[in-house]
Amino acid sequence: MRILILGGGGMVGRKLAERLARDGALGGRPVGHLTLHDVVEPQAPAGAEFPVETLISDFAVPGAADALVASRPDVIFHLAAIVSGEAEADFDKGYRINLDGTRDLFEAIRRIGDGYKPRVVFTSSIAVFGAPYPEAIGDEFFLTPLTSYGTQKAIGELLLADYTRRGFFDGVGIRLPTICVRPGKPNKAASGFFSNIIREPLNGQDAILPVPEDVRHAHASPRSAVNFLIHAATLDGEALGPRRSLTMPSVSVTVAEQIETLRRVAGEGVAGRIRREPDPAIMRMVSGWPRRFDARRAETLGFTAERSFEEIVRAHIDDELGGTWVA
């Protein structure tokens, strides 16, 4: 089996590659070759018992997508995207990468023809939804995004469904909640503070909270994000039906509940490293975000995530900090 990960240099792409290297197989089929692609050189996972190729290019440049799929990968994980805050700040860049790049990829697959029909796993986002919201957003709620990023992802979902309907590939879209706690350094995602207020204090550093503590949002860990991708790659398309995109399970908590969980797990001294510095721009964006989801369709199809925010914090401590933190 040949696998291509677009966005392989990002956090989720790196963890997915590590999981594939550890498992050596996907859906019971041995991995024969893995290609990691990004605009910066991805890191090949240690211990892989199959060839790993790393490629650097802008996949939205004409012809780049054709080169990426020329080897006919059996599974394509499309994780490449400009994140929410950057897509909002740079309108042209967001549409070029998140929309034009996605369409170029889908067209490159279609052009091969000759019976080639890979599984394409597309990472969408809960940003496809827009206010006003019900108490919990269910499977029947319509897509009315309130950001450019959400609009780009919603269009990607429609393209994924149509190209699948036409038989060009077998697509599955997964709407990721905010992934928390993200390891590494802060990125340009507007949602980054949700991770920052947990990650930095555990590392002995101060963190800035730009929104009120009553803000509620939905989260899943990086560990769950990888599980979502693996399951989406092996899901029976017939069971999914014509609605190809699914909202993933998540844990809905307020910022206050996040902080209280940090305090309970790591102590008052760690939680005391959070500084409140309101940011009106971020507050405006967050006010239009969904708060809670009813992901029963995804759960019926076998997707699972954490059941509490404490599980998410402990997963970060175990996976990224070796089981300890800076008190």
Does residue 196 contact residue 207 with C-beta atoms inside 8 Å?
Answer: yes
| Residue owning tokens 């507007």 | 190
What single-letter amino acid sits at 318?
D
| Gap between the Cα atoms of 49 and 61, Å rounded | 32
Non-local CB neighbours of 224 within 8 Å, separated by 6+ positions: 248, 249, 304, 305, 306
For residues 125 and 151, what is the distance between their CA atoms, to the nearest angstrom? 10
Whether residue 147 contacts residue 96, with contact meaning beta carbons closer than 8 Å, is answered with no
Helix, strand, coil % over all residues of the chain, rounded to 5: 40, 20, 40
CA angle 256, 260, 261 (to 5 degrees): 115
Catalytic residues: 149
The sign one gets for the Cα dihedral 128, 248, 251, 259 is negative
Say which DSSP state 97 is in. I
